[in-house]
Amino acid sequence: MFKNILVNALVNLGDVVLTTSALALIKKNFPDTKITMLVKPVVADAVIDNPVVDDVIVLDYRAKENSFQKMRELVREIRRRNFDLAISFDRKLRPALINFFARIPRRVGPSKVFDDNKSRVTLLYTDVVEISHDLNKTLQAETYQEIVRKFFNIDGHAEPVFPKKNSPVAEKLLARLPNAEFKIALCVKGTFPLKTWSKEYFAEVVRELKKNYDAAFFIVGAPNDKTYADEVIAEIGGGVENFCGETSLTDLAELFRRADLFITVDTGATHIAATTGVKMVTMYGCTSPDRWHPINPNAVALTSREPCCPCTFKAEECPTYPKPACLQNVTPVQVLNAAKKFLT
């Protein structure tokens, strides 16, 4: 019934990847519908040339620039495209206002999506989809799909979708590794401290795997993760390549496709990796795998299930900081046992 849909997803990388499961569900039921995604520049690579996304609008917003003029231009552009439906996965004020002033006739959003708090942003929607399940006990991708299922009155489930492109960059990076039977990828730094497993634990795992397997190791991450990754490599004693900041998101996906194992903390790269089917072990600290488990049959999620998890602490407010119990109690032995099952 809708032919031209704008999807608002001004969220972080992992969530953008997870929202593609809802788009896949739309495409499955309405294959002729055109879907355009509104995203932040840093995640555009995840949706450009994505099989379930037909077009992309990038909102490059910076508070110190002439944001009002940019918003006016974007409103005019969206109005020109004649969208008949806007779906919001983020419940943010800015895209809701843009859609309102662009006069998109149907504007859909959830009653809740990241927390249970009520929001006046829903007043800008024409349709509010009631989300009744417990967010913390439901995979986030299912929450996004529930918005679509209820609004369109459809059934079914879908998995996240990521672009697949040839990557000369991945080829060149892997050529830097020594010849080995196994290629093992690592992501060692989360977006904040309560997601970051300790350097000592990572070092113990890598040293033990080196003893028992013919393996080459590399670390992936954002450009600002490079220094921290070097510190982890120093703790290990060297012998690990640092690829942080050297890949696009699609290059990163190709590295995962060619890896034999991925050991990671809970971060956006985790959900990219899950779309490739790579064998993976993920350590969860302040977040719960009940909600953020990678959608991949080859994934193992490790958590100590502390009573305070999931938490809303800032790092310095955590009673057990700087060594948060939620991460300290996920031990190297647990990670090694999971990794060995995959490598055997």
Note the pLDDT of residue 313: 80
Half-sphere exposure of 227 (CA within 13 A, CB side): 1
Residue 281 β-bridge partners: 263, 300
Q: Are strands 182-187 and 85-88 parallel, antiparallel or unpaired?
A: unpaired
pLDDT attached to residue 65: 61
Contact 287, 303 (CB under 8 A): no
Please indicate, yes or no, whether residues 228 and 310 belong to a single structural domain of this protein.
Answer: yes
Residue 159 lies in a domain: no
Place of tokens 């634990």: 201
Q: Which domain holds residue 275?
A: 169-343
State residue 66's pLDDT score: 58
Provide the pLDDT for residue 201: 97
Mean pLDDT over the full length of the chain: 95
The residue among 127, 152, 177 that closes a domain is 152
CATH code of the domain containing 28 = 3.40.50.2000
217 inside domain: yes
pLDDT at 143: 98
Asked which of 119, 152, 185 is the last residue of a domain, the reply is: 152
Q: Which residues pair with 37 in a beta bridge?
A: 7, 56
Residue 163 domain-assigned?
Answer: no
Query: What is the predicted pLDDT for the residue at 63?
Result: 56
pLDDT at position 328 = 93
* 3-state class percentages of the chain: helix first, strand second, coil last, to nearest 5: 45, 15, 40
- Does one domain contain both 235 and 320? yes
Residue 157 lies in a domain: no
Dihedral sign from CA coordinates of 200, 230, 326, 322: positive
User: Got the DSSP string for 39-55?
Assistant: E-GGGGGGTTT-TT-SE
| pLDDT one-digit tens code per residue, 79-101 | 999 999 999 998 999 899 999 99
The answer on 173 and 148 residing in a single domain is no
Kindly state the tokens that stand for 234: 């120093």
Residues in the chain with pLDDT values less than 50: none
User: Are residues 133 and 211 located together in one domain of the fold?
Assistant: no
Task: Give the pLDDT confidence of 18-36 residue by residue, as tens digits.
Answer: 999 999 999 999 999 999 9
CA distance 326 to 328: 6
Quick one: what percent of the chain has pLDDT higher than 70? 99
State whether 114 and 236 are in the same domain.
no
The total of structural domains in the chain comes to 2
Tell whether 147 and 273 lie within a shared domain. Answer: no
Distance, CA of 175 to CA of 68 (rounded, Å)? 47
Looking at the fold, whether 141 and 22 belong to one and the same domain comes out as yes
Q: Could you identify the residue written with the tokens 């050297």?
A: 246
Contact 205, 187 (CB under 8 A): no
Identify whether residues 147 and 174 lie together within a single domain: no
Looking at the structure, tell me whether residues 111 and 239 fall in a common domain: no
**Are residues 79 and 209 located together in one domain of the fold?**
no
Measured distance CA(172)–CA(255) in Å, rounded: 10
Same domain, 134 and 179: no
User: C-alpha 96: how far from its chain's center?
Assistant: 22
Is residue 247 within 8 A of residue 172, CB to CB? The reply is: no
